[in-house]
Homo-oligomer: A and B are copies of this chain.
Amino acid sequence: MSLLAPLVAGFDIGGTNVRGVLVDRAGHLVGADRLPRPHEPDGIVDSVVTLVARMGTDAGADAHAVGVGCAGTVDRRGVVRASPNIPTLIEFPLADTLSKRLAMPVIVDNDATTATWAEVKTGAARGIRDVVFVALGTGIGVGIVLDGELRRGAQGFAGEAGHMVISPEGPECVCGRRGCWEVFASGRALGRLTQDAAREHRVPAIVEIAGGVIDDIRGEHVSELVAEGHPEALMMLDELGWWVGLGLTNLVNVLDVSTAVIGGGLSEIGRPLIAAIRVGYNSLMHDSDHRPPLNIVGALHGGRAGAIGAALLAADELHQPSRI
């Protein structure tokens, strides 16, 4: 196996699926496949090995390196330290385990980090040097590029911006604290905000769609109505956009990025979501006379960003062999 061979496989290990892609040296997609995400670490490793083989057969050429984006905190040696959505992955040396099984170089990083790299290298923020990628899903994951490079922090845990406290008396977060950004601005938060609105009798149509049970209202009920331009759904999107915008002002004040890329499952809502976030951000940002406006854009790679970015990172590492 030559390190100069062109194909690299990328994976995104998430709450539901293990998604794989195969990309060539130019970063173009040449294959994609997925499996339901197994429960145990061994099964997860098996599924990656299976997908590497399957995608290689389909493409007629094998991958020579693997990159993995994984939900959770991943340290700089590719150990998954903890993953709230995949609780079996605790202190698990995913990079080493996969590298031994596959007999090839493997890098593992946080899934939001790898998705960020996909958007900066070949996506919505191509060529931009100071960027945050904000994945709005069940929670919020963030990736940071400053001066053209991913910034992972001391341990590799940077980008846990979903746990910025923005309201210390706010509702409880899965992390055990109160008022984290993701309590107000994630897919799960859209459901919660809409339940609150339902209790105030502001969204009767959404209550009806949810079968009349306020506690059953989910973000998806809002997303569906956004597509038809329903005023109740647009109102909830405005509310969510304000909270997303609030967190973005914090990130811009700390990092002075020029561009925010909005990804994650919620971003499938598309333009109306981006529009609502822009309105929210602009209503909140101070100092606007002396600061150029933030460029807020939707992600280009959708649900494949994490896997594509992992492949691109692994390809980058092939040219700096000291790190793998």
Contacts and interface: CB of A to CB of B under 8 A. Distances in A.
Interface of A: 73, 81-82, 91, 129-130, 142, 144, 146-147, 149, 151-169, 175-177, 246, 249-251, 253-258, 284, 286-287, 289-292
B73 A163 contact: no
A51 to B, nearest CB: 28
Contact of A163 (B153, B160, B167, B253): B253
A130 B146 contact: no
A166 B168 contact: yes
Nearest to A75: B290
A190 B128 CA distance: 40
A254 B251 contact: yes
B175 A286 contact: yes
- Top-8 shortest CB links A-B: A153-B256, A154-B258, A158-B256, A130-B154, A81-B290, A160-B253, A175-B286, A157-B256
Contact of A254 (B130, B176, B254): B254
> Copies per complex?
2
7 contacts: A81-B291, A158-B254, A159-B254, A161-B253, A165-B166, A167-B169, A175-B286
Given A153-B255, A256-B153, A291-B73, A286 B177 contact: yes
Nearest to A91: B290
A291 B157 contact: yes
Given A166-B168, A250-B164, A250-B250, A151 B255 contact: yes
A249 B175 CA distance: 13
A261 to B, nearest CB: 14
B290 A82 contact: yes
Nearest to A129: B154
A151 B160 contact: no
Contact of A165 (B129, B154, B250): B250
A73 B253 CA distance: 11
